[in-house]
Amino acid sequence: MTARLILASSSPRRRDLLAQIGVTPDAIHSPDIDESPRSGELPRLYALRMAEEKAEAVPRPEGHIVLAGDTTVALGRRILPPADTDAIVADLIARLSGRRHHVWSAIALIDTEGRMRSRITDTIVRFKRLSDTEIAAYVASGEGRGKAGGYAIQGRAAALVDFMSGTYTGVVGLPLYEVRTLLRSAGYPVD
């Protein structure tokens, strides 16, 4: 019998990304965890901890696999907050203007035996130097609200990026190569 998949995420982008590799979760549960970084916690370790805590936070019935992810945007060692307001979006986009930053995309999977497996990717992204007018226009689009780092690379922000090294889908929300590898290693059928 094939294992059933639970996606521990409230993100529609993660569902859409899974669909790109032919995976439809059998259930979706939104994990309720404290996402505050710990004092001095490095962005890479924070993203891994978040993905693992999200996976552990949802019920996993027998015969089910749980998949969770976390996307963390960082300038150096500083974890950038989610952009809950236009003012935060404007501040984050201004900080990212003309600079390279890291997007850590972690995934965690709990297999049918209860074993945790995790992976992380590091994508380097650089925005072109943005004018105040460009920043204001992006903020006005509303696209950056609720997003890690204050932007959505799959939307208008794609035109702001002048360099990227790493995994595009990781910046969107799930590094699909790593997701496919983890699912297959857990016996979940992915072509």
Q: Is residue 190 part of a domain?
A: no
Query: What distance in Å separates the CA atoms of residue 149 and residue 128, rounded to the nearest whole number?
Result: 15
Nearest partner of 183 among 105, 66, 70, 31, judged by Cα? 66
Q: To which residue do tokens 């950056």 refer?
A: 144
β-strand pairing of 64-75 with 116-127: unpaired
Task: State phi, psi for 22 to the nearest 5 degrees.
Answer: 75, 25
114 domain residue, yes or no: yes
Q: Is 167 inside a domain boundary?
A: yes
Domain range for residue 11?
Answer: 4-185
**55 CB-near residues (< 8 Å, 6+ apart):** 8, 31, 66, 67, 68, 108, 109, 110, 116
> Per-residue confidence at 1, pLDDT binned at 50, 70, 90?
low
State what percent of residues in the chain have pLDDT above 90: 92
The widest CA-to-CA distance across the chain, in whole angstroms, is: 57
Residue 147 forms part of a structural domain: yes
Q: What is the CATH number of the domain that holds 58?
A: 3.90.950.10
At position 98, the amino acid (one-letter code) is G
Quick: pLDDT tens for 144-184.
999 989 999 999 999 999 999 999 999 999 999 999 999 99
Q: What percent of the chain has pLDDT over 70?
A: 99
**3-state SS class at 86:** helix
**Which residue is associated with the tokens 């996402």?**
35
Residue with the larger pLDDT of the pair 191 and 133: 133
Domain-located, residue 110:
yes
Q: Is residue 191 part of a domain?
A: no
**What tens digit of pLDDT does each residue of 175-190 get?**
999 999 999 999 898 8
Does residue 32 lie within any of the structural domains?
A: yes
83 part of a folded domain: yes
Question: What residues are annotated to the active site?
Answer: 70
Q: What's the total number of domains in the chain?
A: 1
C-alpha separations of 177 from 16, 38, 59, 145, 166 in Å = 15, 29, 26, 27, 12
> Is residue 117 classed as helix, strand or coil in its secondary structure?
strand
Confidence at residue 11, expressed as pLDDT on a 0 to 100 scale: 86
Report the amino acid identity of residue 73.
Answer: V
Please answer whether residues 110 and 65 qualify as being in contact, where contact means their C-beta atoms are separated by less than 8 angstroms.
Answer: yes
